[in-house]
Amino acid sequence: TQLLEQSPQFLSIQEGENLTVYCNSSSVFSSLQWYRQEPGEGPVLLVTVVTGGEVKKLKRLTFQFGDARKDSSLHITAAQPGDTGLYLCAGAGNTGTASKLTFGTGTRLQVTL
C-alpha cells in the first residue's frame, strides 16, 4: 500500500505570511497532484507534477516534485483568506490514465485577516 503523509496537519496563519506544506512517501510515483477542497465541495485539481525535481508555479503557489519522485512540497507566498481550505496531495502509482490515485492525509489551512 502506498502511503502519503502530509505535514503539518493543521496550519493557522495570518494574511500575508508564507507557508510550506509537505507530502512524503516511501513509494515512487509516476506523477503527483495537489488539490484544494473547500467545505461542502469536492477536491479541485491545482497542479500535476511529473518529472523529478520539477517546479511549477501557479500565481502565489509554488509546487515542487522531489528528485526521487517520492515527495513534494507546496509553498504559498503572502497567504490570503481565499487560500483557506484542505490541501491534498495525491500520487499516481503507474503510468497512464488508468492509474490508481492515492491521496495524502491532508493539511487544513486557515488564513485569517
Partner 1 sequence: DARVTQTPRHKVTEMGQEVTMRCQPILGHNTVFWYRQTMMQGLELLAYFRNRAPLDDSGMPKDRFSAEMPDATLATLKIQPSEPRDSAVYFCASGPRDGYAEAFFGQGTRLTVV
Query: Which stretches of the chain bind partner 1, using CB under 8 A?
Result: 30-31, 33, 40-45, 48, 50, 88, 90, 92, 96-106
Q: How far is the CB of 63 from partner 1 (least distance, A)?
A: 13
Cell triple for residue 81?
Answer: 483568506
Quick one: 100 exposed, middle or buried, by C-beta within 10 A (0-12, 13-18, 19+)? exposed
Instruction: State which residue, 55 or 78, has the beta carbon closest to partner 1.
Output: 55
Q: How far is the CB of 103 from partner 1 (least distance, A)?
A: 4
* Residues in Cβ contact with 52 at an 8 Å cutoff, skipping those fewer than 6 apart: 65, 66, 67, 68, 69
Instruction: State which residue, 82 or 96, has the beta carbon closest to partner 1.
Output: 96
Q: How far is the CB of 48 from partner 1 (least distance, A)?
A: 5
Distance of CA 30 to the CA centre of its chain: 15
Instruction: State which residue, 66 or 106, has the beta carbon closest to partner 1.
Output: 106
Q: How far is the CB of 94 from partner 1 (least distance, A)?
A: 8
Quick one: 91 exposed, middle or buried, by C-beta within 10 A (0-12, 13-18, 19+)? buried
